[in-house]
Structure 1
């Protein structure tokens, strides 16, 4: 599967005239626009990952006002056909990423293997006392200092997951600085000699995204996230990381390998 194409689709004068919705047919203009864009996708003029022209350009192409155009785009978004990413534009939605859950689960490797460009950014980092859940997962005393790192990971600029990761603070000192500079948890752990971590346990649940998750993942209200709680350990199976990743449910397909 090809990566996303930031070059907007172009249309000739003939195509623009052909694409203009017809008035007086009894079919709402916005519905005709939806059908036209769906046809462009079906016939390959718009491919997965391709960026649509701006609202102004589309409104001009179809000869409608922006209110009518926005209703058409809203419908396409609700149907899962296109997806708007703040700061980048509206794109034809790509197929979900096949995301294997195995002994070595690495976001960057998985996304690269799907032919898409992985990215990430640090949202926040802080030292906090281990909660009961974190303490049990990392086999630490309740309340011991742990380093928490929150990140957003994306594929071709589209946010895929927001993850919270906890580590024993003394063992992983300055890990957050390494994550901030590399954009990768794996590379940061490698710098500390902990790069060959392995999955010890995975639990998957689902729920409606909360407000922060909707903002970080660019999700409309009511969308579902897959919540993956995981424990990763070193060669001696000593837990070094407890993570809680929230994936945009319609952007990934979890694959469990036996």
Structure 2
């Protein structure tokens, strides 16, 4: 059967006289296809004209069906782009001990990460203040792309003082985890001192990496991690996919 925009487009004519409004029957059919995975989270439904022709109804009736699905949180409608199946949102906990892999496994998600790049650079003033060091002193920037169940979740920029963490790029590439890479440097435990959360629109690079539209917001965290003595060890600037992630702040 042909597919368009992630959905089967075979003709379906709702049953008239069934006692259920035509638009409600269309909503049922579309929701059933979404539930069965015919159209997957994040995929786009066919254009309005195609769906109206498929169900042999006018656009007004089709719009009522789509509006019902949107109200139920099954789909999202983006002005000028179309209708998309809503993402399965990750309830990501922010607390004193934030470990991405542990957090995702507690949610029965499969974690993953990819190395993007690692460089040495002079610490900008803002990052130097966060790390309690002089501006211009060298820091190591490690950029990563994190996944949950194979879907991009966040792009992270992690800054470490070079004097203490020279070689952490190689450690990360070998062990595939920042927590494990820190352990290689003698940091067996660390804590979140502060997290600042904002929302903004992604630039083209982040939208591409997170596989989301540029008119969908991302959640941005800026955070400082410290060792058990309270010494700053990492400044993190992470961009999370807005459609896929929501934060829960733990006390």
TM-score, shorter chain, exceeding 0.5:
yes
1:45 aligns with 2:47: no
Residue 204 (structure 2) aligns with: 211
Alpha-carbon offset, residue 122 of structure 1:
0.8
**What TM-score do the two structures reach when normalised by structure 2?**
0.72
Alpha-carbon offset, residue 143 of structure 1:
0.2
1:21 aligns with 2:12: yes
Counterpart of 1:36 (choices 29, 42, 49) is: 29
* Partners of 2:248 and 2:169 in 1: CA distance: 29
Alpha-carbon offset, residue 213 of structure 1:
0.5
Residue 231 (structure 1) aligns with: 224
Alpha-carbon offset, residue 51 of structure 1:
10
- 8 Å contact 1:122–1:152 — kept in the other structure? yes
Residue 126 (structure 1) aligns with: 119
- Could you list the runs of 5+ residues in structure 2 that have no partner in the other structure? 1-7, 17-24, 55-65, 77-83
1:155 aligns with 2:131: no
- 8 Å contact 1:48–1:95 — kept in the other structure? no
* Partners of 2:131 and 2:150 in 1: CA distance: 32
Alpha-carbon offset, residue 200 of structure 1:
0.5
- 8 Å contact 2:33–2:39 — kept in the other structure? no
- 8 Å contact 1:153–1:162 — kept in the other structure? yes
Residue 189 (structure 1) aligns with: 182
The CA deviation string for residues 187-241 of structure 1, in whole angstroms up to 9 with x for no partner, is 1111111131100011001100111110110111211111100000001110000
* Partners of 1:175 and 1:184 in 2: CA distance: 11
The CA deviation string for residues 127-150 of structure 1, in whole angstroms up to 9 with x for no partner, is 000001110000111100000011
Correspondences of 1:130-141 after superposition (within 5 Å) = 130-141=123-134
Counterpart of 1:170 (choices 149, 163, 166) is: 163
Which has the higher Rg, Structure 1 or Structure 2? 2
Alpha-carbon offset, residue 94 of structure 1:
4.7
The CA deviation string for residues 109-161 of structure 1, in whole angstroms up to 9 with x for no partner, is 11111111100011111000000111000011110000001100000110000
- 8 Å contact 1:48–1:93 — kept in the other structure? no
**What TM-score do the two structures reach when normalised by structure 1?**
0.70
Describe the shift of the 1:103–1:51 C-alpha distance in structure 2 as closer, same or farther (beyond 3 A).
Answer: closer
Alpha-carbon offset, residue 96 of structure 1:
1.2
- 8 Å contact 1:48–1:94 — kept in the other structure? no
* Partners of 1:117 and 1:231 in 2: CA distance: 26
* Partners of 1:243 and 1:126 in 2: CA distance: 15
